[in-house]
Amino acid sequence: MNKAVIVPLESYRLAEYAVPIVCYICQGENLHDSEFCRYCFAPMALAHQVNGQKVQPRMVAVVGASGVGKTVYLGMLMDMLSRQAGRLQLLARGAFSITLQQSTLASLARGEFPEKTPNEPDRWNWVHCQIRWPRLRHPMELIMPDMAGEAILHEVDHPHSYRVIRALLKKCEGAMVLIDGLKLRQGAIDQDYFTMKLISYLGELQEDPKESWSNRPVAMVFTKADQCDAWMADPASCARNHAPRLWQQCRERFRKYRFFAARVAGYCAWREMPGQRRVQVPLRIEPHGVVEPFEWLLEQLV
């Protein structure tokens, strides 16, 4: 005996797949339920959030070599800005935007620095936030990814190898370039060269002179300034003395740039663990100069 059953034809589901969702970073077309862009591996949550609002988010890049402190800086910046009311305030948009802040602060609370950011773009943390500031008439939507330094260097050395980095840097309206102040003071030249390469890469990125990076604001931030007070006092002079090539490049390539120094840890020490390599531990958390570069950048963007 045949039994009659009712099977709903949910054809609207097919219609959803017929309309592509455009990745906000690389403009690649994706399915409506993709978690990451199939071309650049940026989270598609950004595109979904952008689609639901009138104001297009602006993007700021936080770049620097591996181990320079991008994750700690961004995590701490978010934490500081999300606490203060009235002045410059940050509101995370979407749960994924809080992961970076959460993991960074959890590590620091345990007396550790966060682990390395993996090279794979689909494992990076992205921050989509709303900035509220008395100087802004309307809240500003901002996107900032925490990219791996190795991936940035690979893209700089071999352009087009990381589509997400190239697409992001093309769209960014400003950048914070982090440089390891401690290494520079110790005489290591790799930070100097890495930053010069990066500046050179940015200079070649846009063909249209109007859109070139020479017109975009760049904050050069010397990190780990806890171990060199002179950096905190006068970062521009220190840049001239310790990184003359970088200083010269900035003068020639950018119209809007400024040197800053920042620190998150008050002091660091090395902990010897049995059977393990030495692990660097922050002895106390005393953020200083973290907000200033960001605030300056916003001033330039307004």
* Residues of this chain that bind another protein (CB under 8 A): 33-36, 38, 41, 65-67, 112-123, 148-150, 153-154, 158, 161, 190, 194, 270, 276-280
13 versus 158: smaller Cβ distance to another protein: 158
116 versus 255: smaller Cβ distance to another protein: 116
Residue 142 backbone class (left: φ over 0; alpha: ψ -120 to 50; beta: rest)? beta
CA–CA separation, 6 and 95 (whole Å):
39
Closest approach of another protein to the CB of residue 158, in Å? 5
Closest approach of another protein to the CB of residue 189, in Å? 10
149 versus 174: smaller Cβ distance to another protein: 149
Closest approach of another protein to the CB of residue 9, in Å? 21
Secondary structure of 192-251 as H, E, C letters: HHHHHHHHHHHHHHCCCHHHCHHHCCEEEEEECHHHCHHHHHCHHHHHHHHCHHHHHHHH
Closest approach of another protein to the CB of residue 123, in Å? 7
38 versus 251: smaller Cβ distance to another protein: 38
Amino acid at 153: L
CA–CA separation, 34 and 45 (whole Å):
9
**Closest by Cα among 222, 153, 158 to 185:** 222
**Closest by Cα among 230, 217, 238 to 293:** 217
Closest approach of another protein to the CB of residue 89, in Å? 30
35 versus 229: smaller Cβ distance to another protein: 35
